[in-house]
Chain A
Amino acid sequence: MKKRKKNPAGGKRPKQIAAPEAPTQTPGDIQPSRRRFLNRIWLILAAIGVVEFGVMLIHFFRPRKPQAGLPEAKTRITVGRISDFRPGSVTAYPQGRFYLVCLEDGGFMALSRQCTHLGCTVPWDAENQQFACPCHASVFDITGGVINAPAPRPLDRFPVTIENEWVHVDFGQRIRRGQFRDDQVVYAKNDNE
């Protein structure tokens, strides 16, 4: 404040003596080309910096893979023996966020518990043999097929494998599907195969 008052010119600094402008005044194409070149290098460096920052940003926001050794890294689990599941039954696996469905003909499916409308968790209604979403009234049959909109597509499924009477599900690999097809059901291998 005090310094300002001393200066009558409204706080503005006295005009600096202009730097010698001779180099920039040289006509046309001899001198400025080097300057232009150096300026261009600055620009290129800045562009590289921006790209690097962008790449860094993408990597920071990428969904992370669970570290090996942590329990959540293992997504393929053994859910039980074939004989544990009654035909026509649905068993919930909350830690894997899926249902293991044993169809009437003995085929197995692993269905996501997320409604395909807006992602609510769909409970199994054993009495009516259907999945009924509490949020927006979508209804699915035992194979995950849509009975009632607004759900736009059947429940997602996870790959099921059967090895030596044991049923395995990999809940790390969600599979979207447009409709139910027979090849989505997994059966225990017959002896003659």
Chain B
Amino acid sequence: MVVNQIPFEEFRMLIRRQGLRVAIGPFNVCIHTSYKPLIEQLYLLYSHYRIVQDEIAEFHVRIVTERSLRNPFKRNVRFLLDGQSPFESFPQEQALAALEWGINLAIAVRVNHLLLLHSAVVEKNGHVILFPAWPGSGKTTLCTVLSYHGFRLFSDEFGLMDTQRQLFLPIPRLMPLKNESIAVIRNYLPDIVMGRPIPNTQKGTVAHVRPPEKSILLSKHTCKARWIIFPKWIADTSVKIEAISDAEAFMMLASNAFNYEALGAAGFGAVANLIRSCDCFKLVYSDFDSVMEVLHQLTNET
């Protein structure tokens, strides 16, 4: 059963009462909230997720509303993980952003049975491309475009790797576009479903893109990695892709992972093997058409 197969009222009852359990990649997340604007947004943006009411959920999250102490006429929302609040409260318009950041935080701090790379991940022809983050590299924007143009979305944020089997696990979540990217993507992909832009968050204006249905449907299909590409968006440059050394790629990948250090020797071994089995590149681009041409060329060479 998928979210869009149940009527809104039933969805609302679930999320208010026992909590809505959805499968997001390898994890089940149980979401509780009574805040109606958030429920409406989730009904639209989570519409392709599988409902798993009878399964164990690893993450239990809640968005609750509360009055601001300083201004009693204003309402805030608070994110709770297992009843604990890891963040400050947010203005109520930011409920969706708070929920999405909260779930990311929960994954980042709790999951250690997988290696968590900080990277966008897509799949093409049965192989995974990693786009590890550089600050301001625009990985989410690139990832959004690719996932609606023939690439399967794994994640715009987490490279989840089973270190023993050297496999990547898809975890397709909403993709939060920031600031200028929102209009850029609206123009480039006019048909995709996107949440309302949320202004004045810690990261500026954010709008969440719903992942493609097919990527969610196939989110149990794991793949090995074949390419590691460090992307950078620079205005008005022509697209350029060049190979980089394994050592350089290793340092950039390992130093930017969520739990590389916690995994110790297992983490080192996994990243070393990963680099050995992949071709590593740096990519500079400014427009989507030419970057996709380069990537299609690269992935079809095999």
Q: Is chain B found bound to chain A in the same assembly? A: no
